[in-house]
């Protein structure tokens, strides 16, 4: 197997860390970025110059561009870019502060878009490459108390649905990864919570807050981060990039139900949809 060079954001924990560990173990080179690169010290000690490190907060667009440019300049060709940095924000919409909303969008959505804008010129110049966007089954379905998180994940799905077509002629392929609930720190230390309001104490936001605090039984988490990372890596070895990777039994069942329900509701409105066309427009029947 030909070794690859990877650029990955958010490698201090979760899927990013797992990807870095597996890739280095199989002999690939990894450009790993994180807000705190000290978390990668053990990997640097073990793998030496096969691990390239840089401090990066993806909400700092100028710094992001500088780090990307430096990685390509110092490493040469980068085969796969993984947009992984992100976190969960929980609470009803009105429980969230303006600052929390801005930071969630800046990290999960704008940061991913700006990373794409930074790497695409390099990938185009080198004749192609692969972009892997860590999205979520939360980009296909939505639950109460996670409105801003879902806004970012639905948003990045829409971005790539369009942008992937723009860059396909340059042999740049895109895969959206849609994991379900996995055994990472997503709902733990890396998560952010809105300020509790009594009006939501007995509703979904209150229940989710108590669940994450350990006062109620935990949410089922079938996803194994190591297996998810391995599936992502295997997908990049395929000649044809899958548009989406749905990973986890919960992700598959949730997405299947949501898409079927959405299609059923759409089909029920066919006659209404056609009835609003202009009288001189002839649609294909």
- Residues annotated as part of the active site: 149
Question: What is the signed CA dihedral for 50, 51, 53, 57, rounded to 10 degrees?
Answer: 130
Which residues, 6+ apart, have CB-to-CB distance to 151 below 8 Å? Answer: 105, 109
Half-sphere exposure of 105 (CA within 13 A, CB side): 11
- Phi then psi for residue 144, to 5 deg, are -60, 160
CB 18 within 8 A of CB 229: yes
In sequence order, the β-bridge partners of residue 223 are 182
In sequence order, the β-bridge partners of residue 193 are 90
DSSP 8-class letter at 219: P
DSSP 8-class letter at 129: E
> How far is it, in rounded angstroms, from Cα 32 to Cα 264?
44
> How far is it, in rounded angstroms, from Cα 124 to Cα 109?
22
- CA angle in degrees (0–180, nearest 5) for 112-15-55: 60
> How far is it, in rounded angstroms, from Cα 229 to Cα 227?
5
């Amino acid at each position: 197997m030909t070794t690859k060079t990877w650029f990955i954001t958010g490698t201090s924990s979760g899927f990013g860390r797992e990807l870095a560990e597996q890739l280095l173990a199989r002999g690939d080179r990894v450009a790993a970025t994180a807000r705190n690169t000290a978390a990668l010290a053990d990997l640097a000690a073990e793998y030496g110059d096969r691990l390239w490190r840089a401090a990066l907060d993806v909400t700092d667009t100028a710094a992001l561009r500088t780090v990307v440019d430096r990685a390509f300049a110092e490493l040469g060709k980068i085969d796969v870019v993984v947009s992984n940095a992100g976190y969960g924000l929980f609470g009803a919409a009105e429980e969230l502060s303006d600052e929390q909303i801005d930071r969630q969008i800046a990290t999960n959505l704008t940061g991913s878009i700006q990373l794409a804008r930074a790497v695409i010129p390099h990938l185009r110049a080198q004749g192609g490459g692969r972009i892997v966007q860590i999205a979520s089954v939360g980009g296909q379905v939505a639950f109460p108390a996670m409105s801003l998180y879902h806004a970012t994940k639905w948003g990045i799905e829409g971005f790539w649905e369009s942008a992937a077509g723009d860059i396909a002629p340059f042999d740049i392929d895109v895969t959206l990864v849609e994991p379900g609930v996995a055994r990472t720190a997503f709902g733990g230390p890396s998560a952010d919570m809105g300020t509790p309001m009594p009006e939501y104490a007995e509703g979904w936001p209150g229940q989710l807050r108590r669940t994450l605090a350990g006062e109620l039984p935990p949410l089922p988490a079938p996803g194994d981060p190591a297996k998810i990372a391995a599936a992502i890596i295997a997908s990049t070895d395929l000649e044809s990039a899958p548009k989406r990777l749905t990973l986890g039994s919960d992700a598959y069942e949730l997405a299947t139900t949501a898409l079927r329900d959405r299609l059923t509701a759409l089909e029920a409105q066919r006659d209404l949809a056609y009835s609003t066309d202009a009288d001189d427009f002839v649609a294909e029947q």
